[in-house]
Amino acid sequence: MNAVTPARAVQRLAANVVNGGSALRKTAPASRMGAQAEHSPVGNPASLRPGNEAAEITAITRGTVQASMEVLAGIRPIHQLARRLDPRCLASLQHRAALIRREVTRTGNPALGRLHRNSMVRSVRVCEVADGVYEASAVVVDDVRARAVAVRLERSKQVWRIVELVIG
């Protein structure tokens, strides 16, 4: 039985990409590598990309909206969203979170303390506006109420950035 060294594995993957997937079947019989070796997407770079751009946008929106609600609740630091949000959106979210914290400490109202707690994104809808530009809406439910969130995403340098974030 031959051991597969990292160099051999890289050579097989490179040959698999060049030959359109046939090299893995020629060099590694199913009896030695298992039945799934023939159908393995490891060497195919296209398999690492999302199958659907709208699904990618939906996932980005869902995660960012959830994180934004956690920032407003005071359980997540704002800097974790710096990579995804436009600087103007980040500053606006930071300002809103500071206002909420200040109002909670000023009034001591328990209802304000529950605001944005246990937020959960219920649904996300995505619409392509132009090439490389999407708009999405999300419904978020927390302990106190349900709210709508509107998001605009633009692609810049192969990265999706949120350029507009409006939390109702």
Q: Is 4 helix (H, G, I), strand (E, B) or coil?
A: coil
Question: What's the pLDDT tens digit per position in 99-136?
Answer: 988 888 888 777 776 777 888 999 999 999 999 999 99
Q: Of 168, 132, 128, 135, which is closest to residue 152 (Cα–Cα)?
A: 135
- CA distance linking residue 86 with residue 116, whole number of Å: 22
Q: Look at residue 154 and tell me whether its pLDDT is greater than 70.
A: yes
Domains and their CATH numbers in the chain? 6-48 (no CATH), 53-167 (3.10.450.50)
Q: In what order do the strands lie in the sheet with 120-130?
A: 120-130, 133-141, 146-156, 159-167
Q: What is the mean pLDDT of residues 60-64?
A: 95
- Which conformational region is residue 31 in: left (phi greater than 0), alpha (psi within -120 to 50 degrees), or beta? alpha
Burial of 72 (0-12, 13-18, 19+ CB in 10 A): buried
Look at residue 32 in the predicted model and tell me its pLDDT: 44
